[in-house]
Structure 1
Amino acid sequence: MTTYRAADSKREEFRKYLEKAGVLDALTKVLVGLYEEPEKPNNALDLLRQHIGAAGPDTADVEALKLEVSELRAKCEQLQEENNELKSKMQQYEPQAEQEAPEN
């Protein structure tokens, strides 16, 4: 009998924790929304994930990442151009180096 009460008190603690954290409200809202949908989605689990999943990154973070990506792309293009220039310069000197090298 004490095992049953211990499990009951743990469940009650957990329920209070979920209620305090707002989990029960969030789940209730999503499930009520699903219930009220005239056309039920094929995959209800995906709907739950969509509505309960992570809120996504902050807009400021996204903007900073977009800026960083554009800067890195520009730098990459610059380095590719520089690489091409250096390759063409190397090709100018390579034929001369081959002509100057003594044959065995």
Structure 2
Amino acid sequence: MAHYRASDSKREQFRRYLEKSGVLYSLTSVLVTLYEETDKPNNALDFIKLHLGAAGPEPADTDALRVELAELQQKCTLLLEENKELRNRLLQYEPSPEEGAAE
């Protein structure tokens, strides 16, 4: 009998913890939203994840973003190299500061 009470006590402590941290309120809100949906989603778990803010980008989106990032990094590197080259070419045609002061 004592074991049963200890289990109840732990369960009650955990329930209070969830209530204090706002987990119960968030879960209840999402479940009420799901209940009130006229067109129930095919995947209730995805609906809950989405409404709890736990859903990240779709894997296809993530892959596309990685490819775009790699392309943009490569383009940035090329532009930096081109910029450096153009600066060096420009320096060939500009007079040095000593020459400009002497004139």
Please indicate the TM-score interval, normalised by the length of the shorter structure.
Answer: 0.5 to 0.7
How many residue pairs match? The answer is 72
Q: Which residue of 2 aligns with 1:19?
A: 19
Listed one character per residue, the Cα deviations across residues 62-88 of structure 1 (whole Å, up to 9, x for unaligned) are xxxxxxx7x956531225658xxxxxx
- Which secondary structure does the structure 1 equivalent of 2:41 belong to? coil
TM-score, length-scaled by structure 1:
0.56
Q: Which residue of 2 aligns with 1:36?
A: 36
Root-mean-square deviation over aligned CA pairs: 3.4
Which runs of 5 or more structure 2 residues have no equivalent in the other structure? 57-68, 84-103
Q: Is the 8 A contact 2:49 2:55 kept in 1?
A: no
Which runs of 5 or more structure 1 residues have no equivalent in the other structure? 57-68, 83-104
Identical-residue share of aligned pairs (%): 59
TM-score, length-scaled by structure 2:
0.57
Q: Which residue of 2 aligns with 1:75?
A: 76
The letter for the 2-side match of 1:32 is V
